[in-house]
Structure 1
Amino acid sequence: MTPVLCIGSVLWDVIGRTPAHMSVGSDVPGHIIRVPGGVALNIAFGLARFGVGCELLTAVGRDIDGTALLEEARQRGIGTAHAYVSDDLPTDRYMAIEGANGLVAAIADAHSLERADDKILTPLVDGRFGTEAAPFEGVVALDGNLSEGLLGRIAKGPWLSAADLRIAPASPGKAHRLAPLLRMPGATFYVNLEEAGLLLGARPKTAADAARGLSDRGAARVVVTDGPRPAASARDGVVLTATPPEVLVTRVTGAGDTFMAAHIAVERDGAEPAAALEAGLQAAAQHVSGDIAT
């Protein structure tokens, strides 16, 4: 099958975790790890676990960190030949603090990806994956770490006009960047309840309310998660809901990316919408419980 193109951030995650509840100013013991991350790479890792072929369209630096990230991806069977490797931009990074009360704070430094701009999309117009006259028609996982300007141009440009486009905001702080993409006819949005509210300019009470609201705004399909509470998907006026399994939460970073990867993978195998929603929630539950290795 045509590989899934994972477009967006590939970087190093530096994550501090503690079993203690944390608030502003907390100073507690815990563990600090560094693992490969970034929304596009996390989705690619998830797809690879399901045996789905994928290619990265991203930007990394021609440095030790970038070389190591691409090698990690290759070792897991992910294509890296079309990634943009910059001689003058450093590899991006992400830092997060997680406590017993969930994600306390995070900072995403994806400035190199933003500065690379549409160079990462060159394979979509130079014949490797498509041209302006014959755009790529396969599945694309796109994340909101791209610059706001580039996302706006994607909504109007040739690159992804014919794709089965799957979109993730990357974080609530970047959800607004996706607004120009809302009316793309082939797009599916994967958002949590907070991100959905930011796109709507309101505070929906449930995932189902959020899914209906984004559909009314023109989104072709929407999938909304809400932590341990029921998730929802909406398409063509039909709203489905499902409740995540109850698990002990040991980590939160990457859960949404794992959900999205599982949802895409099982749909490629022919799963119906309700089954795909359940599969995504099951995979995310396994991730947050620590049953899926990073």
Structure 2
Amino acid sequence: MTREPDILCIGSVLWDVIGRSASAMRQGSDVPGRITRLPGGVAMNIAMTLVRFGLTPALLTAVGRDGEGDELIAACTARGMITDTVYRSDDLPTDVYMAVEGANGLIAAIADAHSLEAAGAKILAPLSDGRLATPQAPFGGLVALDGNLTLTLLSEIARSPLLAQADLRVAPASPGKAERLTPFVQAGRGTLYVNLEEAGLLCQTDFDNSRDAAAGLLKRGAARVLVTDGGSDATEGRRDGLLTQTPPQVLVTRVTGAGDTFMAAHIAADAGGAPPEDALNKALLAAATYVSGETAL
């Protein structure tokens, strides 16, 4: 590699195909709108926001050696990301995420990350082959990790000596994959970024607010958590206490990628030495700006 990364983004890098309508929608709705196709995936969304904050991320993911994959790699490179750490598969297609959003929020979404799951531990090769680190000199920097990996691989990462010295920042890809983060709760490893529903799934209960959810995750063994609840209060939980703030109130025009934007903005502020109160405030402001549509799609 010609550049040294500031952070590793491990997880899904794929094409987002998103249909958005200004109309409120329900099951069976057929309405006019706009359909966009953009680079996406949790790891990609985090990486794009990190670049906006001046950081250089390296991607550890699986992308097919198909036309869609070549186009995706070119798009990542053009956005300032390091891509020679990406596992390119000859027999697996490039993954895709498809969503429909209406004026009343996310209506439905399907994440096809089967190629990433099938690639498994192959995506971690740069951590041991010298491109990023070796078993004798493990990687000790920032790592943003998403839950699109299999539970088996996430369990290995939570206890792997290859990342034992790393500053792990972990997020589920969706509520349906929240329980894949259980190994990090059990091992007391990393900083977990979850929403209220995901926190409830990890704790096998329901929470009324982010503060209770953060306290519940800490009680189960988590080292550090950030719990969001849409436009309601968000809470950072550490073993030395809880910090709760209210996000700015904005008109919501999009939702896909909001959690990733929050996470990336918090990582950037945190890594830059901002106090906890400032880091959380900056993350909430970045997420609010994103969902209001004031940043580029």
**Alignment of 1:241 onto 2:232:** no
Paired letter, 2:110:
I
Asked whether the 8 Å contact 1:121–1:159 carries over to 2, the reply is no
The structural deviation recorded for 1:276 is 0.7
- Alignment-derived partner of residue 43 in structure 1: 46
TM value normalised by structure 1: 0.97
Paired letter, 1:87:
D
Q: Distance in 2 between matches of 1:212 and 1:87?
A: 45
**Alignment of 1:193 onto 2:196:** yes
Once the two structures are superposed, residues 11-58 of structure 1 have per-residue CA deviations (whole angstroms, 9 ceiling, x without a partner) of 001111111111122222211111110000100000000001110000
- Alignment-derived partner of residue 166 in structure 2: 163
- Alignment-derived partner of residue 156 in structure 2: 153
**Alignment of 1:177 onto 2:180:** yes
Q: Distance in 2 between matches of 1:102 and 1:219?
A: 30
The structural deviation recorded for 1:132 is 2.4
Asked whether the 8 Å contact 2:12–2:148 carries over to 1, the reply is yes
Once the two structures are superposed, residues 141-162 of structure 1 have per-residue CA deviations (whole angstroms, 9 ceiling, x without a partner) of 0000011111112122223221
**Alignment of 1:258 onto 2:257:** no
Paired letter, 1:193:
L
Q: Distance in 1 between matches of 2:111 and 2:33?
A: 21
5+ residue gaps, structure 2: none
Asked whether the 8 Å contact 1:183–1:220 carries over to 2, the reply is no
Residue of 59, 62, 69 corresponding to 1:59: 62
Residue of 75, 79, 83 corresponding to 2:82: 79
SS at match of 1:285: helix
Paired letter, 1:153:
E
5+ residue gaps, structure 1: none
- Alignment-derived partner of residue 139 in structure 2: 136
SS at match of 2:207: coil
Q: Distance in 1 between matches of 2:286 and 2:69?
A: 28
**Alignment of 1:211 onto 2:208:** no
**Alignment of 1:3 onto 2:6:** yes
Equivalences, count: 294
- Alignment-derived partner of residue 24 in structure 2: 21
Q: Distance in 1 between matches of 2:21 and 2:5?
A: 41
Q: Distance in 2 between matches of 1:42 and 1:159?
A: 24
- Alignment-derived partner of residue 100 in structure 1: 103
| Pair 130,183 (structure 1): closer, same or farther in 2 beyond 3 Å | farther
Q: Distance in 1 between matches of 2:121 and 2:104?
A: 38
- Alignment-derived partner of residue 220 in structure 1: 223
The structural deviation recorded for 1:96 is 0.5
Could you tell which deviates more after superposition, 237-246 or 138-147?
237-246
Q: Distance in 2 between matches of 1:19 and 1:2?
A: 39
Q: Distance in 2 between matches of 1:201 and 1:185?
A: 18
Asked whether the 8 Å contact 1:6–1:44 carries over to 2, the reply is yes
Q: Distance in 2 between matches of 1:129 and 1:183?
A: 27
Q: Distance in 1 between matches of 2:47 and 2:208?
A: 31
Q: Distance in 1 between matches of 2:208 and 2:67?
A: 45
Once the two structures are superposed, residues 88-114 of structure 1 have per-residue CA deviations (whole angstroms, 9 ceiling, x without a partner) of 100000000111111111000000000
The structural deviation recorded for 1:134 is 2.7
The structural deviation recorded for 1:75 is 1.0
Asked whether the 8 Å contact 2:64–2:91 carries over to 1, the reply is yes
Paired letter, 2:8:
L
- Alignment-derived partner of residue 271 in structure 1: 274
SS at match of 1:203: coil
Q: Distance in 1 between matches of 2:26 and 2:151?
A: 31
Q: Distance in 2 between matches of 1:182 and 1:14?
A: 32
TM value normalised by structure 2: 0.96
Once the two structures are superposed, residues 226-280 of structure 1 have per-residue CA deviations (whole angstroms, 9 ceiling, x without a partner) of 0000000001231001111111111000000011110011111100111111111
The alignment-based identity, stated in percent, is 62
- Alignment-derived partner of residue 109 in structure 1: 112
Asked whether the 8 Å contact 2:5–2:82 carries over to 1, the reply is no
Q: Distance in 2 between matches of 1:181 and 1:132?
A: 21
